[in-house]
Chains A and B, each alone.
Chain A
Amino acid sequence: MSSYAYLFKYIIIGDTGTSCLLLQFTDHRFLHSHDLTIGVEFGARIVPVDNKNIKLQIWDTAGQESFRSITRSYYRGAVGALLVYDITRRDTFEHVATWLEDVRKHSNTETTIILIGNKCDLEAKRSVSREEGEKFASDNGLYFIETSAKTASNVDDAFIQTAQDIYEKVQEGVLVVNGEPSGVKLGPSQPGVSSMPDVSQINGYGCC
């Protein structure tokens, strides 16, 4: 149940909505009035990718500028970055470029980044079109998805799509497992679990 082939480290950044997205993903819950995130919050969940279990360990970072120097230190170890804006608040979309610059500067070059337009349940209040989001993402080589942390729409997809891309990078050797700083780690060796032995043999992991 808790065995997994790989562990990927994620960060969630952006002005707003990061905590709701994480809570929906890890706990399938939505809170209208979520506690303010101070610094960072941690979450985790196992998702299936290519018939393997992948554990995602996720740092949800506080949106306030004051915490930026603290939250930046979490960028380096991440192989997945979810960059969130609110489709009903144009200012949060306008800040996406700054967030992207920040994450590019402080994370690994191979970090997979997905741009997320959250609150897609509030179509009537939309102030950033889907096309604008898509264009920004494609211009900057990012994945793109619109989600609703409230209805859970596309929330799992946002995390899993990112995990698939990272998984492919691992398979292609673009990302080094257990490298330094390691945003990708092997799961614990699980004798008797059929999908695991080849992995542990390749890396000598679990041999005493």
Chain B
Amino acid sequence: MNKDILICGVGGQGTVLASRIIAAAAMEEGSPVHSAETIGMAQRGGSVTSHVRVGGEAYSPMIPFGAADMILAFEPGEAVRNLRYLRQGGVAVVNTAVTKPVTESLKDTGYDGREMTEYLKGKCACIFVNAEEVCRPFGSTKFFNIIMLGVAAGSGCLGLSKETLLKQIEQYVPAKFLDANIRAFSAGIEIAAQANLKGE
């Protein structure tokens, strides 16, 4: 199996952990895996991406434009910025809640993400998730990355079993937050089920 999964967002949203868990789950299922992350200065409030490449035919550490089977976008503007990575027929899971950069607050251009979600609808198969709403029962946005993983798993486009992913979540999250993370993962799966996606 070859699968390319691009995770994008803004520094500090927990995208790196999501990519680690996907990579570990793919390894657990016996596939060769490669991944790459944004590290360093760009992490300070900048756009970040993680590239996860499952399968033996990946040479470049980064996914080529037009090759990603799935984009997990933690921010709507970042989904649009990285849309060129998505293959024809690929699926985007997109958080509709925006992270406003400082430049935006200074100029106040009214960026609220609606334009982005409208644009995305016309471009590819999407599952929209509003982080603020789905995180409310958890009292913190800390679990949002695991909710996104749940959506990805539930969509069936990840090519990984929910059980394997859950096993890796258990490995990677602190024990005291494990129950909340399991609930977050289940909530994500539920969102995907309701989205009733007609992707390829």
Q: Do A and B come from one complex?
A: no
Chain B residues proximal to chain A, CB less than 8 Å = none
